[in-house]
């Protein structure tokens, strides 16, 4: 994988096609865990770990098992199994090592299993980095890099949103817009801001 390809994937995944603000995937945890910066960043780190490892394992499964045995139709099931396994592993580690953080995450940590952003990364990798059942040059590294950058892009969006929501606690927000409604308004404005990156020629 050359430097130009790496830069294209990094910039494209972080800004142009940010999984939350451009592709609108993973909005559940984005809205639910972004009230405070600490949990938001921690969730971003957990998602980054899962997207990176899911990209790595799903590429190996797709290239080594599904394509050679013409089982591409099992892609959805196999990718979900990979994601669920790593989420379970991440949940166990956090519960043992940082129980306070585990309680803060609540239901949103297990929801990474069904987080469409994580699944979307695995599916996108198999769609973009495979042509006619064959991996493109540097496909494995590109898939892992895109998975990692997708997680970093998720973390970036979470960090921005949590910072704004923390400041909103000291602002006079109309009663009808408090909490979730104003969060959706902010998310819409952030999405419009990120739309400006779509003009990049990559």
Mean pLDDT of the residues in the chain: 90
Q: In terms of Cα–Cα distance, which of 1, 6, 52, 61 is closest to 202? A: 6
Render pLDDT for 131-184 as a digit per residue (tens, 0 to 9): 988 999 999 999 999 999 999 999 999 999 999 999 998 888 898 988 889 999
Closest CA to 155 of 21, 63, 54: 21
Q: Cα separation of 15 and 97, whole Å?
A: 33
Q: How many domains does the chain have?
A: 1
pTM above 0.85, yes or no: yes
Tell me which residue range forms the domain holding 43: 3-199
Weakest-pLDDT range from 3-12, 65-74, 91-100, 142-151:
91-100
Q: What is the mean pLDDT of residues 24-30?
A: 87
Q: Which of 158, 120, 122 is nearest to 30 (CA)?
A: 158
Q: In this predicted model, what pLDDT tens digit does every residue of 98-131 receive, in sequence order?
A: 888 788 777 777 777 767 889 999 999 999 999 9
% of the chain at pLDDT higher than 70: 98
What Rg, from alpha-carbon coordinates, does the chain have?
18
What does the pLDDT read at residue 146? 96
Determine the number of helices (DSSP H) and then strands (DSSP E) in the chain.
8, 2
């Amino acid at each position: 994988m050359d430097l130009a390809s790496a830069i294209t994937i990094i910039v494209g995944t972080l800004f142009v096609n940010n999984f939350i603000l451009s592709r609108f995937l993973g909005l559940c945890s984005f809205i639910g865990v972004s009230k405070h910066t600490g949990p938001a960043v921690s969730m971003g780190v957990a998602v980054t770990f899962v997207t990176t490892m899911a990209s790595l394992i799903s590429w190996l499964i797709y290239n080594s098992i599904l394509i050679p045995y013409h089982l591409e139709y099992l892609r959805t099931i196999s990718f979900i199994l990979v994601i669920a396994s790593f989420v379970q592993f991440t949940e166990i580690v956090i519960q043992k090592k940082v129980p306070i953080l585990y309680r803060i995450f609540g239901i949103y940590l297990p929801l990474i299993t069904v987080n469409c952003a994580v699944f979307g990364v695995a599916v996108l990798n198999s769609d973009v980095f495979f042509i006619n059942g064959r991996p493109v040059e540097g496909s494995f590294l590109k898939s892992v890099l895109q998975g990692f950058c997708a997680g970093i892009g998720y973390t970036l969006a979470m960090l921005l949103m949590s910072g704004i929501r923390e400041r909103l606690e000291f602002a006079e927000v109309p009663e009808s817009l408090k909490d979730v409604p104003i969060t959706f308004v902010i998310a819409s404005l952030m999405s419009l801001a990120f739309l400006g990156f779509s003009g990049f020629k990559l």
